[in-house]
Amino acid sequence: MGTFRLKGWVGLAVGLWACTSAPPTSPLPARPAFTLAAQRPLFSAESAYVAIERQLAFGPRIPGTPTHKACGDWLKAELLRRGARLTEQIGTYKGTPIRNLIVSFGDTVSQGRVLLSAHWDSRPRADRDAHNPNAPVPGANDDASGVAVLLELARLFAEQPLPYPVDIALWDAEDLGQEGIEDSYCLGSQYWLEQPQPYPTQAYAWGIHLDMVGGRGATFFQEGYSRQYAPFLTERLWQVAAYLGYGGIFRFAPGEPILDDPFYLSSRGHIPMCNIIQRTPTQGFFPEWHTTQDDLSVIDKTTLQAVGETLVAFLYSFSPQSLNPK
Ligand SMILES: [Zn+2]
């Protein structure tokens, strides 16, 4: 994803800064305003780790290449194996071939759905790499990690279905962008917004996006656009993490607004989205971001476990009636 939107968006970024740097955080309440499900399935960081390994083994996941296609076919088979209904959205957007994979669990209703997403492509150029700036990024953390956590969640949804319908969207062509070129990132999600299927955007109560969720020593601040568009979700998700003992990883503090798929889903699609993404106000993204070193060595199962367990506790805490916690 792009860091901030620099061109033409300075005003917005500054405005958000102004409000995100205001009173830091509401303190954690003594007792949660929600109940965690007593019976919830167990997230396996080991399975998620293996799914990262499998994605990397295909090679770079650059749209239009044979290795990308092979990985997409594998992802499709994995999701079908978990009992999901799959829709492939194939097309071209801004000259780029797009293959979005959207899988559905539960009822086919066009309301009260939840959207979970990650991007399955990897960046073609390691432009942050001092030595190999033209080599492709392996993309272990960015974003095989997000895809892997969703694959593991899909396994759990098959084992213990959620009480409401959920869709997992694996966006293509998120990471081809260039800084300074308007809307050049996030092509897959922008394409989906123009021709949503199988469900319209209004079908979704809200959604969660995962980007770079497996890095060693990761911390997740409350991303700026998530605080703007989905404050209720963001607060509750971070509270769940804290109650599970992951407050050191999920920091109850504001983070910067980041131009990523959920920005478009929230602002254009009006789906309140929360983005779990590794970026700290002082250190930026993880050190290997957009370099050839974004490989398995940056992945830590502790981080995958914290994210996965938090998501499981969070998702299974809702009933169809409580999906809108505003
Ligand atoms: Zn990226």
Model confidence over 83-104: pLDDT tens digits? 889 999 999 999 999 999 999 9
Backbone φ, ψ for residue 2 (5° rounding): -80, 155
Distance (Å, whole) CA 47 – CA 53: 10
User: What's the gap in Å between 236 CA and the centre of ligand 1?
Assistant: 26
Distance (Å, whole) CA 184 – CA 176: 7
For 14-38, the pLDDT digits (tens) are: 333 333 433 445 555 555 677 898 8
Contact 155, 51 (CB under 8 A): no
User: What's the gap in Å between 195 CA and the centre of ligand 1?
Assistant: 24
In the chain, domain spans: 10-21+40-318
Contact 286, 293 (CB under 8 A): no
Contact 300, 216 (CB under 8 A): yes
Confidence (pLDDT) at 30:
55
For 256-305, the pLDDT digits (tens) are: 999 999 999 999 999 999 999 999 989 999 999 999 999 999 999 999 99
User: What's the gap in Å between 190 CA and the centre of ligand 1?
Assistant: 16
User: What's the gap in Å between 175 CA and the centre of ligand 1?
Assistant: 5
26 to 33, 145, 184, 219, 234: CA distances (angstroms): 14, 30, 35, 19, 12
Contact 274, 226 (CB under 8 A): yes
User: What's the gap in Å between 11 CA and the centre of ligand 1?
Assistant: 24
For 172-208, the pLDDT digits (tens) are: 999 999 888 889 999 999 999 999 888 999 999 999 9
Contact 235, 142 (CB under 8 A): no
Contact 172, 121 (CB under 8 A): yes
For 209-260, the pLDDT digits (tens) are: 999 999 999 999 999 999 999 999 999 999 999 999 999 999 999 999 999 9
User: What's the gap in Å between 322 CA and the centre of ligand 1?
Assistant: 34
At 157, which amino acid appears? Answer: F
Average of per-residue pLDDT values in the chain: 90
User: What's the gap in Å between 222 CA and the centre of ligand 1?
Assistant: 18
Distance (Å, whole) CA 193 – CA 100: 11
User: What's the gap in Å between 264 CA and the centre of ligand 1?
Assistant: 16
User: What's the gap in Å between 28 CA and the centre of ligand 1?
Assistant: 32
Tokens of 210: 């995962």
With a cut of 60, say whether residue 55 has pLDDT above it: yes
User: What's the gap in Å between 139 CA and the centre of ligand 1?
Assistant: 8
Q: How confident is the model at residue 324 (pLDDT cuts 50, 70, 90)?
A: confident
Choose the CATH number for 10-21+40-318 among 3.90.1010.10, 3.40.630.10, 3.50.40.10, 3.90.1300.10: 3.40.630.10
| pTM of the full structure | 0.91
Q: Which residues pair with 89 in a beta bridge?
A: 100
**Block residue for tokens 């917005």:** 12
Confidence (pLDDT) at 92:
96
Distance (Å, whole) CA 79 – CA 170: 11
